[in-house]
A and B are shown apart, each in its own frame.
Chain A
Amino acid sequence: MATKVTMEALSPTMEEGRLVKWLKNEGDPVAKGDVLAEVETDKAVMELTARGDGVLRARLAAEGDTRPVGELLAVIGAPDENIDALTKKAPAAALTPSEPSPPRSEVPSASQAAAAPTPAATMPTSAPPSAPTSGGNGGGRARSSPLARRLASERGLDLARLHGSGPGGRVIRRDIEAAASAAPVTAAPPAVRPAPPVPRTAGAGDFEDIPLTQIRKTIARRLAESNGPIPTFFLTADFDLTSVRELRERMIALGDEFKVSYNDILLKAIATALSRHPEVNAHWLGDSIRHHHRVHLGMAVAVEDGLITPIIADADRKRISEIARESRELAKRARERKLAPGEYTGATATVSNLGMFGIDEFTAIINPPEVAIFAVGAVGDVPVVIDGALVVRTRVRITMSCDHRAVDGATGARFMQTLHRLIENPLMLVF
């Protein structure tokens, strides 16, 4: 079977080469490895070597010609072999310079066979080489093994420009290694044989692998689900609770059954604001964003060995007194581990409050697929300047964590404006 001699990619970036000089004449016997010609690449003059044994039957390019990588330059074959089929199709033949030889009972030794594709000069040529199914114009997909693809990408080699020695022109590991060792490290002076560079292989010393412990895996997986892939930003604002305090005091004055906490009122305010901003009351679904029309507000509750977020369903439609009763009940049952799964799954947004621990402000980590979480700090009296005068006001600081994939800065800021209006005018919450 004849062996095609093609313009090979002699450097990783080579797209075409100029045939400087033929070193073999038509009719000369050639052996695998013989230098056939000198080729000028974009970097240096390199040697084009034979990949099969036989006789140089035809030279299809003249000295000085520039040819794209993959184009047929010559044919090596047995002296009496019919090579018409190859030479006629010369311009179209690309990317599959050698055909696999059929299985034979007597096989070459491993070292021989491993060194190069196995053209068998003695094989009959009655069957023409099968046409490659990948494109013949250089635009087709080069066949390659998964390993070859990985190695090529690691070494910055273009697969489409490599000679594939596997079945059907498949580029396999040895082709990558051949290309890597053929690539000159620096531009060598013309006509000087470049020193064979040591192929760069990923090996010992390049890195050290530290195995992950179970706890590291869990930490990485859980935290990456939040702070890793979720691009989070934070919006912090102070909210004046003077009106809320007055409202609360008046309600308490009406009797114990009207007693609610600051947190209950803030939950109600956040839920009401969420109902007006579905773009915040949303889930990130990977390929879409789901705006929820109902508000199911999660509230983070510390339990003995962690935390859980029971849910106040339809929190925006509940009265403050209902929220107060329900949040107390849920927190109690959360600590007793008596929550049913339906009571802590499906939140559309979550509130976390560390005010009772004296934390002034903090940031909370979004609980996917939700896109926002609200971190509520301690309620306290602070000095503030109002109309040029220093006065003492009851205030709270709330930080909103936003998933930027779903919520933009202005979107979050508008939500915080709504929340401001509600908290500073709490009658709107009972309207």
Chain B
Amino acid sequence: MAIITYRDALNQALREEMQRDDRVFIMGEEVGIYQGAYKVSKGLLQEFGEMRVVDTPITELGFAGVGVGAAMVGLRPVIEFMTWNFALLALDQVVNSAAKMLSMSGGQFNIPMVFRGPNGAALQLSAQHSQAWESWLAHIPGLKVVAPGTPYDAKGLLKSAIRDDNPVLVLEGEMLYNVKGEVPESDYTIPIGKAQVKREGDHVTIVSYGKMINVANQAADQLAKDGIRAEVIDLLTLRPLDAETVCASVRKTNRAVVVEEGWEICGMGAQIADYVQRDCFDDLDAPVLRVHQADVPMPYAKNLERAAKPDAQKTVAAVRQVLYLD
């Protein structure tokens, strides 16, 4: 199996889906002539032409809305946000049009479209460009939200997202684009709405997703040196969320730690903790703990940024706490 980057895995997914279905087109800032701000759309303009690879002005609300309209008349747009930070400007179209159109039209218009782009912090991009929006987005009925953390999952989930008949938001990561992993060149998809046990263990459940799945795996490696067997669950989809896989694991381990990229209040981990307390209360031997970004706008200074971000060391500490080791 070929070992390629997360960026190229996304590129493969886009190319294969555009070859498979000529209703699929991509649109966004710098996706064409510049080949994508992060080169995810590399080569697509040359292969598919400018009717299907559309460069836009810097007008997130505008081109998100054009995308919704195109989806209403039967096309399958893939809208690239240079980052989800800029997508804040387009949230009215995402939330008020894309998410609600099926319901408000009484089922007349479904919106088969994808909004994708990097989410969360990279390195020293400071407060306005280092934000993890997943709990905002997963809050909205009518949307599906996926967050792949590996090249394999990126390709399979983006393909599922493009084939889905409803709006799907794909949360990627700037720090993920260069991550390499095994990706089949063949056509495959990963089901939306299903979590995956990435690593088996019976002492503690670490629940994570997206970029943070790599943090969870690092923590599990460190814990293994102390003889602690952590089970790592990759949610893959944040909405609809596969609580059953999480709870099945917690029933086995009796304890859980959630590693999330966003802020604490109303974060994804709060939702996971709720499912766990509701569905496997009698299996819990310790409170569910969460590892998340510090409750501040992301600092620019390198040392402060490191202190604010969730990492493997903080995850290990939380795991030891739920195991009553410290």
Contacts and interface: CB of A to CB of B under 8 A. Distances in A.
Given A107-B320, A110-B226, A172-B286, A147 B325 contact: no
Which of B226, B283, B326 has most chain A Cβ within 10 Å? B326
A202 interface: no
Given A114-B323, A149-B282, 19 more contacts: A103-B317, A104-B326, A107-B325, A107-B326, A109-B226, A110-B228, A110-B323, A113-B324, A114-B325, A118-B326, A145-B284, A146-B284, A147-B254, A147-B283, A166-B286, A172-B286, A172-B324, A173-B254, A173-B285
A150 B326 CA distance: 24
Contacts of A108: 325
Interface in B280-300: 281-286
Chain A interface category by residue count: 20 to 34
A347 interface: no
Nearest to A166: B324
Given A103-B317, A109-B226, A146 B281 contact: yes
Given A103-B317, A107-B320, A110-B227, A147 B284 contact: yes
A126 B317 CA distance: 25
Give the top 3 A-B pairs by smallest Cβ distance, nearest first: A147-B285, A113-B325, A110-B226
B198 to A, nearest CB: 22
Given A103-B317, A173-B254, A110 B325 contact: yes
Contacts of A148: 285
Contacts of B286: 145, 166, 172
A147 B287 CA distance: 11
A315 to B, nearest CB: 38
Contacts, number: 51
A150 B283 CA distance: 8
A258 B282 CA distance: 66
A173 B226 CA distance: 20
Interface in A97-132: 101, 103-104, 107-111, 113-114, 118
15 contacts: A104-B326, A108-B325, A109-B227, A113-B325, A113-B326, A145-B286, A146-B284, A147-B283, A147-B284, A147-B285, A148-B285, A150-B283, A166-B286, A167-B324, A174-B324
Nearest to A111: B227
B325 A172 contact: no
Nearest to A145: B285
A172 B227 contact: no
A335 B227 CA distance: 67
A352 interface: no
Contacts of A114: 323-325
Interface string B304-326: 00000000000001001101111
A150 B254 CA distance: 12
